[in-house]
Structure 1
Amino acid sequence: MEQTNKERSLVSKVMDGLVAGIVEEKYGAILPPQDVLSKEFNVSRTVMREALSMLLARDMLDVRPKIGTRIRPMSDWRMIDEDVVNWRFRAKPDPLFLRDVIEFRMLIEPRASAQAAARGSAADIAAIREAFDAFRVIRPGEPAYQAADELFHTRIVVASGNQFFKQMAAIVRGALSTVNPLVTDNNGLWETAVSSHQRVLEAIERRDPKEAEIAALAMINYSAEEVGGKFSAEPPTRV
């Protein structure tokens, strides 16, 4: 069992290293042969083969005869997989990816907020309030700001009670980690962020699904407009 755990840990480290090389565009379009990669990572071919097979299963790679192991476009990666989500958000964001990230949030978070208001338990709503109280006293740029924001949004998704939405929590966290650094240098952001988060919270506490959904959409639209301005691109169409 000890050897098995050690091998699993080694495979995970190799996967992490391969992904780092992919998102940093170290390898180009085609990965080096397995024996070359094995030497690069100083692991056996068995470990390397297992690591590559895990990435293949996540639609990140494609093996083609006489060509080798091709790196698939990030848009093909299996984003429902939490590891893939975390890896994808490591890469430098581009306008198309940011558009898709914000559109995803517009689809999921407003509805999750409405459902949290309609059927979240008292404990769920208290947890959202607790996350907000922590968030409201932390300024952008402080170490705990990102974690506090992610906790607030994640707890709303959990309070929705929808098992599929819960599976999407990793994407919500990744979306926030990508978008927040692009908008936190706005001088008025902190006050606006606190106000918009509070509006969502209070609608949920009042058990007002319609207002919770509208408030959540308004909160995301603000980020969309800021990101659109940063990239000189049209923000996603409001739903």
Structure 2
Amino acid sequence: MLADLRVVTSEHLRLLDDRMPGLVTDLLITGSIALDDYRPGMSDIDFVAVMGAEPTPEQLAILPELHQQLPKGPNYDGIYLTSAQLIHPPVSAPQILAGDFDPAKSGGQLTPVTRLELSRYAIAIRGRRPAINVDLDVLREWLRGNLSGYWTKWTLNAGEHLRGLPPAEPIEQYLIIWGVLGPGRLRYTLATGDIISKTGAGRYTAEHYPAWRDLCERAVRARAGEPMAFTAADGVAMTELMQAVIDG
């Protein structure tokens, strides 16, 4: 992980400074690396680049070219924000996700959760971790909306698909990892006002929803890289767990 991180961030900064000197004042790492939960071959590298001023149209046009020149490796996903926008988030901002650059993307890392993570756990490659006061009421409202919106829809769609399969049919482990570990992170933050990793969320979910403890433990082991087989029956159990977590 440290080698991947060092290579991509040093080249990112070198290209930025060469093509657009002074644009990026701080480069911060969030996500699994900041939460000490990086898994090679599975985790992305997440960044927040802080700018001294909003980029010009010419600079915006350079950013996707620059990202195409970065070394191959884990997805290098992130967002570009000014220091003022860290305090007062915009409606949209330049973001890159899985190699797809959008100069004015809404959603993505524009969330109160990212701002909370930045203020408490971000690793500064350049500059320093920002001091951000996160409104916990706004944070909780966003979390509840994400559970009732994105995660509820995902659970319903997954359940409809999985119930149509033979119970013993194998399914991809990434579905289990995503579904079992995802909603628990939001439920944890609602309960504590803090951030937890995916692995930590699996353990938290196992503790608070013991009927699905075995499934949670297997999902955590799969995320750690242990070969693990899952079936459609496991997938159905996953959707039942997810609904329980969504309901609280």
Normalised by the shorter chain, which TM-score bucket? 0.3 to 0.5
Structure having the higher strand fraction is 2
Query: Rg larger in 1 or in 2?
Result: 1
Structure having the higher helix fraction is 1
TM-score scaled by length of structure 1: 0.36
Bigger relative contact order, structure 1 or 2, given CA contacts below 8 A and separation 6+? 1
TM-score scaled by length of structure 2: 0.35
